Amino acid sequence: MANLIRTSLKTTNDSIILTIPLVFFMWIIGAYVGYTQYTANSLPEIILAVITVLFMLGAFLSGWFYMVKKAVLLSKKVFVMDEDRAKAVLGLFKTIPTGIGKYFLSYIGMSFLIIVIFLVFAVVIYNIGILLIGHLDLNALQMKQAMSSPNDMKTFLDSLSEAQLLKMSYWNVLFMAGSAIASFFTFLWVPEIIFSTKNPFVALFKSIYKILKKPLKTFGLFLFIGLMNIVLSFISTFAIYNPISYLIMMLIYFYFLVFIVVLLFTYYDREYVEETEPANTEETKKEDENKSEEK
């Protein structure tokens, strides 16, 4: 694990340009979502906005994840001159259109599958909660009013009895446990699509099979990422009160996102690609042929 983290940190630092597309996309998607909050007033407009966001996500993720994959493969190459490595790293930008062309439909399919899985998951968790915990005896209007502001939430919680608060805590634990289980079994879904299987439905089952092949190793990585995310979220709650500390936390957050994806892809490449095939031989041969033609 320590060697994996060190390698991933080095790859992230060497390919820090991976943060540039991520920052631009987050800015664009944030601006679009902010715009639709004021313009999407009817149900058809809201549905159109959601579909647009899904397509934007599909285009970005397919290109960016492919760029990360190329950065991971590039980190295994030996360069005599630093200038050659710098040129190769800058060349990662050129892989984004290729990634969109290869995996756009895969990530669109994955997005819709996630919606289906979420709905099934919500129904299953709800039914388990009803059987084991019982109803909360709260209506949708109460919950909506409570979520209006932090003060409204505090007032709402103060109005609940001890029995209701206990039930609510049980429901929270149930949803957190269910979310953790679902996240673990879809942990390798993204790298499975990028490295091995374009079909998102088949990739889901193949990724689950690979998790079950090495459950302890995968769970260790999953736990490490989860703990890092909790620590970062805890620290960021104190940073929102100061503009400078908030800016620093945002930079750390973007670096963390890139590092996590590089870590996950490096783990998948080591554990499941290198042991079964000699690191994308066909793709590597094509790239070498293209480079020789350019020269």
Closest CA to 255 of 36, 18, 31, 72: 18
The backbone torsions φ and ψ at residue 117, rounded to the nearest 5 degrees and listed phi first, read -60, -40
Handedness of CA 54, 59, 60, 62 (dihedral sign): positive
Question: 129: which residues sit within 8 A by CB, 6+ positions away?
Answer: 170, 171, 174
Cα 203 versus chain centre, distance? 16
Question: Residue 166: its pLDDT value, please?
Answer: 81
Domains of the chain, residue spans: 2-278
Closest CA to 223 of 194, 199, 187: 187
160: DSSP letter: S
Per the structure block, which two tokens stand in for 256? 């963390």
pTM: 0.82
CB atoms within 10 A of CB 267: 24
Question: Residue 139: its pLDDT value, please?
Answer: 61
155: DSSP letter: H
Question: Residue 293: its pLDDT value, please?
Answer: 46
126 burial class (0-12, 13-18, 19+ CB within 10 angstroms)? middle
Cα radius of gyration (the chain): 22
Question: Residue 203: its pLDDT value, please?
Answer: 92
H or E element: which one contains 197? Answer: none
CA distance 78 to 59: 31
The pLDDT tens digits along the chain (295 residues) read 888 899 999 988 988 889 999 989 999 988 888 888 888 778 888 888 888 888 998 899 999 999 999 999 988 887 777 777 888 888 888 899 999 999 999 999 998 898 898 888 888 888 888 888 877 766 666 666 666 666 666 776 777 677 777 888 888 888 888 889 989 999 999 999 999 888 999 999 999 999 999 899 999 999 999 898 888 888 777 767 777 887 888 888 889 999 999 999 999 998 888 655 544 444 544 554 454 444 4
CA distance 89 to 132: 53
**Token pair 């554990």 is at which residue?**
271
DSSP alpha helix (H) spans, the chain: 2-14, 19-39, 43-74, 82-90, 95-132, 140-146, 150-158, 162-185, 189-195, 200-213, 215-239, 243-268, 281-294
CA distance 18 to 21: 6
